[in-house]
Amino acid sequence: MNQLSIPEFPDLQIGTLFCIGRNYARHIEEMKSERTDEPVVFLKPRSSVIFNNGKVLLPEKTNDVHHEVELVLLIGKHTHKVSPDVALDSVKAVAVGLDLTARDIQARAKQKGLPWTLSKGFHTFAPVGNFAELRDNFDIQNLDLWVKVNGETRQHGNTSMMLFTSAEIISFLSQHFILNPGDIIFTGTPEGVSRVKAGDTIEAGLGDHISSLKVYVQS
């Protein structure tokens, strides 16, 4: 299995990482941002993905890296111009993930009206837990999300708080892009984001033991 394979689905290669910003109202408030009429979309490189027990490497360019816990969707089939009512048929599995963000770099980019890519795309900045196949016995829009740093709960939310549902996100993306098997979608974070530092252990979870994640922060 090479490093671009997904552990639970070794024949499936990681594709494009689509990320959605400003999808929880209270996180918008804590970031002093504004709601948008459409999903805010940005990308991460595949090299930012790490899995359970991986190491988050803090870049020298930043001293303010934040955790953002998210529901992550794994696309399982070719998807183009689908409606929300059938969009979830494209999801093969779900996981908990972290959209790590160099907040200081992002803030400077925002001030200048520049893209966020550097602040979001560093190597190891997209940790993902184990993928669980999407089943009929859980509601993708009613799943708890949480993250702990050194055992202290920092974020706790529920996917019912999303402004754009998973189905709406997939449908929106499919109108503008072609989604392919192996593509991954980070669906946004609830409030409570905070700084991590070298030596920290980050743990995160999704639902009732659906997916879990543990990573270690290093300089």
Q: Look up the pTM and report it.
A: 0.97
CATH of 5-218, one of 3.40.50.2300, 3.90.850.10, 3.30.70.20, 3.40.630.30: 3.90.850.10
* Domain layout of the chain by residue ranges: 5-218
- Residues 129 and 139: their CA atoms lie apart, in Å, by 19
Half-sphere exposure of 191 (CA within 13 A, CB side): 10
Per-residue pLDDT of the chain (219 residues; tens, 9 = 90+): 455 899 999 999 999 999 999 999 999 898 888 999 999 999 999 999 999 999 999 999 999 999 999 999 999 999 999 999 999 999 999 999 999 999 999 999 999 999 999 999 999 999 999 999 988 778 999 999 999 999 999 999 999 999 999 999 999 999 999 999 999 999 999 999 999 999 999 999 999 999 999 999 999
